[in-house]
């Protein structure tokens, strides 16, 4: 009797997670670094599960192509905006994801990205490597410090709360946040729940750590960018679609805000001819918020366990309810 099949829609998944799957399934691992939709469509028919990432679009066409054998999608991410939830519900397919295990790693990345942007680390490093280190004036390569600043966190779930705890140690003057409800853990740090418009107007540093959905798409738009302080630094570790990127580019080109640190953008990978690539007041990272060896391994194991749980017809360790 043949075993159910799993399609792993990426290359170089930690072997410990693949070994868990191989004990119960026939596993097919895609051998491309960037798996195209056409490749997925070709490989997905007859599969019981898809092990995917935000780089893979799980839409109704793919689900229909997989056929009735498809029972579960396991995404190695917290966000699932790449998954068509309406189609998943329509065809009765379960969805596993990986919250919690990446909280601290993403929070660490956020703090590092904020410091690198406001203190101009990448720009300074480039100067060292290209012979630009000749200016010895007191103002050369000066950025703004975090101490005594107002920090605003848009979306204070687990990751936002961890970011708040870490930044509090920098002796900031005020902590603002947005959330659907009051967050006692953030309030205990001196945080204040405000509207998004109050936050963008008052903050020196604005951090996006909110999920992308229809309500949050372009939550940072042209109008809200216009309300920001002229020295404000915007950091995004959520999803590229949270920001109207064209409006951000225009504001950065005209120096209407201080800078931006982006771990996520639109599209991904970002084209080499994007204006963002040419700006000194922008720090770009290739969506590596959770990229520690330990965290990525934990995420892969959790994704495998989510898939196995569906085979065993039991509750997933981490399942999206819809």
The answer to whether 231 is a known catalytic residue is: no
Q: DSSP of 78-98, one letter per residue?
A: S--TTB-HHHHHHTT-EEE--
- Strand-strand pairing, 5-8 and 26-29: parallel
User: Which positions ≥6 away from 194 have C-beta within 8 Å?
Assistant: 152, 176, 177, 178, 202
Q: Closest Cα partner for 6 from 23, 37, 28?
A: 28
On whether the CB atoms of residues 236 and 152 are closer than 8 A, the answer is: no
Enter the tokens of residue 180: 């659907």
On whether the CB atoms of residues 36 and 67 are closer than 8 A, the answer is: no
Which member of 82, 126, 231, 287 is catalytic? 287
Task: Count CA within 13 A, CB hemisphere, residue 228.
Answer: 27
Report helix, strand or coil for 198.
Answer: helix
Q: How far apart are CA 213 and CA 4, in angstroms?
A: 33
Evaluate the omega torsion of the peptide bond into residue 307 and state whether it is cis, within 30 degrees of 0. no
Q: How far is CA 138 from CA 117, 122, 135, 142, 143, in A?
A: 19, 19, 9, 8, 12
**Catalytic machinery residues:** 287
């Amino acid at each position: 009797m043949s075993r159910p099949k799993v399609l792993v829609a990426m290359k170089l998944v930690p072997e410990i997670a693949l070994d868990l799957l191989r004990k119960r399934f026939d596993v097919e691992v895609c051998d491309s670094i960037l798996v195209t939709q056409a490749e997925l469509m070709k490989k997905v028919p007859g599969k019981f599960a898809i092990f995917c990432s935000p780089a893979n679009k799980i839409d109704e066409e793919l689900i229909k192509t997989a056929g009735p054998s498809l029972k579960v999608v396991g995404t190695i991410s917290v966000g699932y905006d790449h998954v068509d939830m309406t189609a998943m519900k329509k065809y009765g397919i379960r969805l596993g994801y990986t919250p919690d295990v990446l909280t601290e790693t993403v929070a660490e990345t956020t703090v590092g990205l904020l410091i690198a942007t406001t203190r101009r680390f990448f720009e300074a490093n480039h100067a060292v490597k290209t012979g630009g280190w000749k200016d010895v004036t007191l103002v050369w390569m000066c950025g703004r410090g975090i101490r005594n600043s107002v920090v605003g966190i848009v979306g204070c779930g687990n990751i936002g709360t961890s970011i708040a705890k870490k930044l509090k140690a920098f002796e900031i003057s005020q902590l603002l946040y947005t959330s659907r409800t009051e967050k006692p853990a953030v309030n205990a740090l001196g945080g204040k729940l405000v509207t998004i418009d109050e936050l963008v107007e008052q903050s020196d540093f604005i951090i996006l750590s909110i999920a992308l959905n229809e309500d949050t798409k372009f939550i940072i738009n042209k109008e809200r960018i216009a309300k920001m302080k002229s020295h404000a630094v915007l950091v995004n570790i959520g999803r590229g679609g949270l920001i109207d990127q064209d409006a951000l580019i225009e504001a950065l080109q005209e120096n209407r805000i201080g800078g931006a640190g982006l771990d996520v953008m639109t599209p991904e990978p970002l084209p080499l001819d994007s204006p963002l690539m040419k700006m000194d007041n922008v720090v770009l990272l290739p969506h590596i918020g959770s990229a520690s060896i330990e965290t990525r391994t934990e995420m892969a194991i959790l994704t495998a366990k989510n898939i196995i749980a569906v085979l065993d017809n039991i509750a997933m360790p981490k399942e999206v309810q819809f």
